[in-house]
Amino acid sequence: MEIIRTEKLEKIYQDNGVPVKALDDVDLTINTGDYVVIAGPSGSGKTTLLNLIGALDKPTSGKIFFESEDISKKTKKELSEIRLNKLGFIFQAYNLIPVLTAIENIEFSMMLLGVPEKERTERALAIMDELEIKELADKRPNEMSGGQQQRVAVARAIVNNPTIVLADEPTANLDSKTGSNLLDLMEQMNKEKNITFVFSSHDKQVIERAKRLIILKDGRIE
């Protein structure tokens, strides 16, 4: 089943008044259960594409369909709703909320959705158990290693059962062993729970595990 489809997607940035084309004529479809890696050299447009399909940015031209609905013209508030209800994000720098503990970070997005406190805690503990990070529940981000933080970030991204999880260079700040363990985990989630993952990465081990690889070069799909 189709989750995301882009049509002639174009994104142009202004760099000191000079237009720079970050994406050019990108047509892409992502289906349920996909495990897609968008790869390409630096500046190829990977992150720009991820931001557009993640409802964080709007295209200069072209269309993005999320579950068959065109989101390219939606307001900031509407995009925020989509992100909250349908998307999970995993960032390169983990980006957990530093003043919250691991379990509070995981509960946070559920809180935004209005999930009752008791249910939030139960679901957060269950996902932490699954990801083998239950012992980190009361630790704050600065008390955890990079790998542990990224596992918490994965838990935060999937706890609301999103339609799709977008991971921007998730292994870039991790050593290869930790990165590999994290990828094992996400692969397992994809297989067992049919969670759709879209990665942007130029990490070899991420690319090697891709079920589907999209190569970007100068803003175009090769």
Provide CB contacts within 8 A for 35, sequence distance 6+: 187, 190, 196, 197, 209, 210, 211, 212
Interface mask toward another protein for 33-62; x: CB under 8 A: ------------------x--x-xx-----
| 121 part of the interface to another protein, by CB under 8 A | no
Integer CA distances (angstroms), 138 to 56, 125, 158, in order: 30, 11, 19
Radius of gyration of the chain (CA): 17
Q: Which of 35, 89, 197, 199 binds another protein (CB under 8 A)?
A: 89
According to DSSP H, which parts of the chain are helical? 46-53, 76-86, 102-112, 117-130, 146-158, 176-193, 204-209
| 109 part of the interface to another protein, by CB under 8 A | yes
Stretch that binds another protein, among 38-46, 66-74, 95-103, 179-187 (CB under 8 A): 95-103
Q: Which of 17, 69, 77, 177 binds another protein (CB under 8 A)?
A: 77
Stretch that binds another protein, among 15-23, 96-104, 125-133, 207-215 (CB under 8 A): 96-104
Smallest separation (angstroms) from another protein to the CB of 167:
12
